[in-house]
Amino acid sequence: MWSRYVALGDSTSEGLEDPHPDGSGYRGWTDRLAERVAALNPGLTYANLAIRGKVAREVREEQLAPALALEPDLATVFAGLNDVLRRSCDVATVAGHMDAMIAALRRDGAATVVTFTYPDPVPVNPVARPARDRVLAFNSLLRAISARRGAVLVDLARHPVTSDPRLWHADRLHANSHGHARIADAIAHALELPGGDAGWTAPLPPAVRVRRHQALGAHAVWTHRYFRPWVLRRLRGISSGDGRTAKRPEPLPVLPPHPHQEH
């Protein structure tokens, strides 16, 4: 069983938008996974180097060396989506950064490295349609990299439920608490942890039909609250992660989940 877990990545690995019930910050699938592993090995330590807004190159340049220095025997790498959503993205270059990180973490074969494909973004946000082909191409490269490097691939893209808007936050970019729980379940299944099964792939009950005026209203709110600020940041050349540090830069013991936190 693993004794040191290190997470690398962007906002999804940081835990946005899965808040701790006590308001102390974000939990996310990384914390949830650490809690499940710690239930099997109470001696587990866990570090999370992820910072929101980072592109794959920045994750490699800023997080890989510190991660290697921590000598993890379990690592997760979730990066690249901030790249492939951009029209200017060179998918092969982004995949190259992922390959380099996975190869380095897997170098001596002692570490289990987990990475992921990305769900189809269009059911969550129709505005993302131009990015769909880039997401599909990136997923294909990630599958090949994982096979070549011996990484554990959580193939989220293979299961339509991962694109169900009800598992996503209102910003249409991050999983909500239910989505983060599903991702943690998916990893538990991939790692063959006790209690991990294929139930995470099950579809949600049929959704209540949304009237056209409700959909238009929701889209207007999204545009004002989330899309417009994102565009302005891009135009100004700034990132949501500027000035931020990792929430858990050092490996620390993992506390049991609060009784009111759902697994």
Does any domain span residue 207? Answer: no
Query: In the predicted model, is pLDDT for residue 262 greater than 60?
Result: no
Per-residue pLDDT tens digits for 131-145: 999 999 999 999 999
Does any domain span residue 67? Answer: yes
Mean pLDDT of the 159-173 span? 97
Does any domain span residue 224? Answer: no
pTM > 0.95 = no
The pair of three-digit structure tokens given for residue 209, joined into one six-digit string:
């039909």
Maximum separation of any 2 CA atoms in the chain, in Å: 56
| Whether 18 contacts 29, CB under 8 Å | yes
Does any domain span residue 136? Answer: yes
Does any domain span residue 147? Answer: yes
Does any domain span residue 220? Answer: no
**Domain of residue 34, CATH code:** 3.40.50.1110
Q: Which domain holds residue 174?
A: 4-201+245-253
Does any domain span residue 215? Answer: no
Alpha carbons 51 and 62: distance in angstroms, whole number:
10
Does any domain span residue 240? Answer: no
Q: How many CB atoms lie within 10 A of CB 196?
A: 17
Q: How many structural domains compose the chain?
A: 1
Residue 234 pLDDT grade (very low, low, confident, very high; cuts 50, 70, 90): confident
- Cis before residue 17, ω within 30 degrees of 0? yes
b/e per residue, 63-82, with b = 16+ CB within 10 A? bbeebbebebebbbbbbbbb
